[in-house]
A and B are shown apart, each in its own frame.
Chain A
Amino acid sequence: KAGVTQTPRYLIKTRGQQVTLSCSPISGHRSVSWYQQTPGQGLQFLFEYFSETQRNKGNFPGRFSGRQFSNSRSEMNVSTLELGDSALYLCASSSWTSGRTDTQYFGPGTRLTVL
């Protein structure tokens, strides 16, 4: 099975711009989660989508949004970029079975730099 893929791998933007990141989960996985990883804050949960619905949400401002398509692919959007948004954005997919924790498989991440 192909792993989780994320595009692009690297991105450079300037303050005020917006950006869209893409994640293709493992085939058959319906849950996609997004995380932000920075040296100072570590790995922080952004949100989780399951069957095109946002099911869980972390504590990030509304500038961070996402969506999931019927084929389970997911996109994450950040509007009005700030310098502090520079980070590695990780996507994880899982098959998710009701009532228990499933294994999350992470992609390699998208490295976003905001200048």
Chain B
Amino acid sequence: TQLLEQSPQFLSIQEGENLTVYCNSSSVFSSLQWYRQEPGEGPVLLVTVVTGGEVKKLKRLTFQFGDARKDSSLHITAAQPGDTGLYLCAGDYNFNKFYFGSGTKLNVKP
């Protein structure tokens, strides 16, 4: 059983479209992180959200932490082929003990 559920599992869209990926849990986390992983590489941190209701923007990516600190979303505007990869959310359960979601595999077609 995954502590963090991500949806959708797979997403294939055309360049220029918008998309939202969700990360949900029944547990409260002290912080939540989003990563992107490309084939043959380890995950790379995109953002850390700490405060309930927090919204962070990273160029075309917008991250939101739920008010109750149990869920988060990642919204990508005008997706580009370079956004292709596996997007993972990770909740910090006990300061440096992280639980990862199952991931969303995104494919952006040119």
- Whether B88 and A101, one on each chain, are in contact in the complex, defined by CB atoms closer than 8 angstroms, is no
User: By CB atoms of chain A within 10 A, which of B2, B40, B43, B44 has the most?
Assistant: B43
A109 to B37, CA, bound (A): 12
- Whether A108 and B103, one on each chain, are in contact in the complex, defined by CB atoms closer than 8 angstroms, is no
What residues on A are CB-neighbors of B43 within 8 Å? 43, 90, 106
8 residue pairs, one from A and one from B, having the closest CB atoms: A106-B42, A43-B100, A56-B97, A42-B102, A101-B31, A101-B92, A106-B43, A90-B42
- Whether A103 and B30, one on each chain, are in contact in the complex, defined by CB atoms closer than 8 angstroms, is no
User: By CB atoms of chain B within 10 A, which of A96, A101, A102 has the most?
Assistant: A101
What residues on B are CB-neighbors of A42 within 8 Å? 2, 88, 100-103
Report the nearest B residue to A98, measured CB to CB: B95
- Whether a CB of chain A sits under 8 angstroms from the CB of B11 is no
* CB-contact partner of B41 in A100, A102, A108, under 8 A: A108
Tell me the residues in window 75-105 of chain A with beta carbons closer than 8 Å to chain B beta carbons: 90, 92, 94, 96, 99-105
- Whether a CB of chain B sits under 8 angstroms from the CB of A64 is no
- Whether a CB of chain B sits under 8 angstroms from the CB of A68 is no
**CB-CB under 8 A for A99 and B95, given A43-B43, A106-B44:** yes
- Whether a CB of chain B sits under 8 angstroms from the CB of A55 is yes
**CB-CB under 8 A for A108 and B101, given A31-B96, A101-B50:** no
What residues on A are CB-neighbors of B45 within 8 Å? 103-105
**CB-CB under 8 A for A44 and B100, given A4-B42, A92-B42, A101-B30:** yes
